[in-house]
């Protein structure tokens, strides 16, 4: 049972409980909450059995995406990963913004690859190292390990730099990072260094991060995003000259 299907079941149970309590107070016939309960549980079963939880995933995404602050936060999070990866020599191949769904419900239900709330930035080592996976390369090269750690923490760093309040995303990032650096003698030191380095990297390029986040939220292609970064860096260099 995936997370969103469980959430849908929890909503159903909560609704049943509240309807029973409120119905007793206002004289609502007991058949009403019973009918609602049966409908919600049936819908949950259909979603889980036929659509693999996609309906619940779409509902959760749609509901959370109603908040402009949420959309802003998740976009900055992924833009932080994208910008850090591009600046540090990784080749970004794709990205997705968690919680921002541009497809209709019908398209989602028909899409076997729908990822729900998931998002992220996919990247590879460029040129001659493409045949070697990132995970194996970072264990062999301190150069790429440091860069990978900075990119991994850049989502959390972007939220801290650009958004108010506690960081909401990043648990998956931390898990991947900690798995990658588990072989080091002092992995927590590496983790703290990576977060500090990512914050410094993004703080110095705040305007570029804002522009990149805006393009990503419109669904711009990877090449367009990379071009926007390069142009912004070139313009900044010319202004300093």
CATH number, residue 155: 1.20.58
Domain enclosing residue 32, as ranges: 3-50
Asked if residue 178 lies in contact with residue 139, where contact means CB atoms within 8 angstroms, the answer is no
**pLDDT one-digit tens code per residue, 101-117:** 555 556 656 666 655 55
**Paired tokens of 139:** 């264990």
Q: Is the pLDDT of residue 12 over 80?
A: no
User: What pLDDT score was predicted for residue 3?
Assistant: 45
CA distance 151 to 57: 27
DSSP 39-62: HHHHHHHHHHHHSTTHHHHHHHHH
173 in the same domain as 109:
yes
The rounded distance, in Å, linking the Cα atoms of 74 and 69 is 9
Domain match, 157 and 109 both: yes
Residue 87 located in a structural domain: yes
Same domain, 31 and 85: no
Query: What is the spatial distance between Cα 114 and Cα 106, in angstroms, rounded to a whole number?
Result: 12
DSSP state of 127: G
- The verdict on 179 and 206 lying in the same domain is yes
- pLDDT, residue 202, reads 96
Q: For residues 38 and 11, what is the distance between their CA atoms, to the nearest angstrom?
A: 13
Same domain for 171 and 96: yes
Tally of domains within the chain: 2
Element (H, E) at 107: helix 105-110
What element of type H or E holds 94? strand 91-96
Q: Are residues 15 and 112 in the same domain?
A: no
The pLDDT, as a whole number, for residue 183 is: 85
Rounded-to-10 torsion of CA 57, 119, 217, 145: 170
Residue range 49-94, pLDDT digits in tens: 666 666 666 666 666 666 778 788 889 999 999 999 999 999 999 8
Judged by DSSP in three states, 167 sits in coil
Does residue 226 form part of some domain?
Answer: yes
Window from 29-43, 134-148, 172-186 with minimum mean pLDDT: 29-43
């Amino acid at each position: 049972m995936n997370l969103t299907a469980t959430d849908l079941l929890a909503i159903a149970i909560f609704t049943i409980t509240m309807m029973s309590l409120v119905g007793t107070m206002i004289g609502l016939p007991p058949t009403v909450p019973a009918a609602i309960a049966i409908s919600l549980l049936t819908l949950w079963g259909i979603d889980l059995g036929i659509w693999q939880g996609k309906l619940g995933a779409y509902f959760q995404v749609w509901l959370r995406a109603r908040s402009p602050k949420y959309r802003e936060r998740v976009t900055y999070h992924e833009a932080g990963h994208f910008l850090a990866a591009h600046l540090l020599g990784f080749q970004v191949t794709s990205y997705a913004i968690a919680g921002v769904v541009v497809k209709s419900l019908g398209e989602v239900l028909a899409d076997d690859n729908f990822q729900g709330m998931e998002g992220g930035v996919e990247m590879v080592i460029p040129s001659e190292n493409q045949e070697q996976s990132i995970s194996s390369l970072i264990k062999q090269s301190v150069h790429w390990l440091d860069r990978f750690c900075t990119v991994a923490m850049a989502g959390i760093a972007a939220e801290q730099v650009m958004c108010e309040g506690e960081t909401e995303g990043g648990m998956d990032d931390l898990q991947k990072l900690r798995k990658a650096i588990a072989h080091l003698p002092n992995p927590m030191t590496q983790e703290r260094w990576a977060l500090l380095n990512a914050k410094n990297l993004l703080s110095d390029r705040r305007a570029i991060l804002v522009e990149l986040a805006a393009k990503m939220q419109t669904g711009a292609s990877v090449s367009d995003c990379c071009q926007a970064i390069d142009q912004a860096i070139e313009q900044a260099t010319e202004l300093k000259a």
